[in-house]
A and B are shown apart, each in its own frame.
Chain A
Amino acid sequence: MIDLSVNVHNLLLKNPVMSASGTFGYGIEFDDFIDVNRLGGILTKACTSKNRDGNRYPRMAETPAGMLNSVGLQNKGVDYFINTIYPKIEHYDTHIIVNVSDSTVEGYMEVAEKLNSLDKVTGIELNISCPNVKEGGMAFGTSCPMAGAVTKAVRGVYNKTMIVKLSPNVTNIAEIAKAVEDEGADSVSVINTLLGMAIDAEKRRPILSTITGGLSGPAIKPIALRMVWQVSKSVKIPVIGLGGISNATDAIEFLLAGATAIQVGTANFIDPQVCIKILEGIEEYCNRHGVKDIKELIGALDC
């Protein structure tokens, strides 16, 4: 029997495979395809303090080995999540981690504070790629002071595991990781989407209504992998790796680079059963390599 369990701060995950926020709804959407209980954890769609309609359509563009999205955090707000969505998902026998997003520090705090009381929500993931409206729309995660400030503020009101999801649209992601670690982050997830653009040459117009959007999918994997490697050498807290993971080999690569756990995102659109295939593929790799405990692979890159 291979021990696939990993520890992200206080959270004991039965295995390192989690679903990425924004790609898995609230879990329910995938019930027809997989047994969600088998995952190490699920990251819910972003939850903001107030209802958000999101950006105008079109919100997506296919790109080589990937896609751009500018959904714009569409969700009905934290109160709706607590009253209407949570009761439908609290039965899941896996870690439910709510992705928390907002445009002001106060907004983040309000969401995090309200989530404290939900027993089955064992942690939150702070999405700091959101524009900070008080700083002219610069993303929180693009500067150490802003990233640190929002982390510190939420740490002050949230008692359970707090993961901070880093933006890769920075010059030095390790610096940002250290800044949030210093302010009490229990873990960092690396990376969110990269800023990109798509154009319709025939219509001579941008494809996305917002002109630019977030790039995800296999195309970003080398960047994500590099950033996981850099960040895991700079912080002591566990790193959760994501960015273009499409199969078990990708997952293993992220573990070797230093990730304690991984998230699968865009790949779910190609194959809604991919998370389970990755889980089973990880097991097969361990069998083949004589790995008895998956934790042996974390940061085990030979270099």
Chain B
Amino acid sequence: MKKFIHDFEVTHNHHITDDYFAIYLKCPVALPQILPGQFAEVLVSNSTTTYLRRPFSIYDVDYQKNVLCLLIKKVGDGTSALSKLKQGDILNLIYPLGNSFSLPEGKKALLIGGGVGIAPMLLLAKLLHEKGYKPDVLIGGRTSNDIVEPEKYKPFGEVFITTDDGSAGEKGMVTQHSLFSENVKEYSVIYACGPDPMMKAVAKVAASLEIPCEISLENTMACGIGACLCCVVETIDGNKTTCIEGPVFDTRKLK
């Protein structure tokens, strides 16, 4: 897929919880097709302490208005600077980057997002729903602050929640949710994105149930376009770049 570079204009910066915000960006031209799982490399324009671009999953797209949305968690200088952007500010993006989730064989899919890892799941839920699948979404986090916009997934399927401290949904880690002892076998595919230990745990469960599983990785990257080879992950077929051959990977191929 062709990659583009454009100056987007901030139309809205929606602060969701203390650490999470969704920034809406208007493209000066018609947006190309963007697939679930793809990301954008964002040049932070209002920080004096960052240098490289920051990669973010594309959270939502409105092709009528040519607006795309990035869901971001404040974790450092770059993301803190982005949280301060206001309507009218300009942000340069290289997009759409990476591969995308593949569509399942059967009818039911389980989409798991841990904290800001929920970001690629909204577009995926929308696409699956459009194609006649039933995407159920499981959102996990440390506290209720990490459960971001769960209502957005309700039009498409069931929404499950876990928090480490029990402040929302079931208490525990995502793989401890009761659905894993009940109807998890009904799913023909599991998708996951979140902290590495979470994705490893999900992949293990999926493997034991022989359910195909795809995860989206967040390796540190410099160029985002397959030139520098910094963002590699080890697979059974050798090193693969998470920016071109990822960020979505079949867990059976990862080492």
Contacts and interface: CB of A to CB of B under 8 A. Distances in A.
Interface residues of A, number: 34
Contacts of A25: 226-227
A272 interface: yes
B51 A270 contact: yes
Contacts of B229: 22, 45, 54, 59, 71, 74
B225 A57 contact: no
Chain B binding surface, main DSSP class = loop
A80 interface: no
B220 to A, nearest CB: 6
A45 B228 CA distance: 9
A139 B168 CA distance: 56
Interface in A247-280: 266, 268-273
A192 B2 CA distance: 32
Given A57-B233, A269-B52, A74 B239 contact: yes
A270 B52 contact: yes
Chain A binding surface, main DSSP class = loop
Most chain A beta-carbon contacts within 10 A, residue among B3, B220, B230, B239: B230
A61 B50 CA distance: 11
A130 to B, nearest CB: 16
A303 interface: no
B4 A32 contact: yes
B230 A71 contact: yes
B138 interface: no
Interface in B168-222: 219-222
Contacts of B5: 33, 271-273
A236 to B, nearest CB: 34
A268 B220 contact: no
A131 to B, nearest CB: 18
Nearest to B92: A271
Contacts of A62: 50-52
A168 interface: no
A65 interface: yes
B234 interface: yes
B78 to A, nearest CB: 9
A268 B223 contact: yes
B49 interface: yes
A71 B232 CA distance: 9
Interface string A76-107: 00000000000000000000000000000000
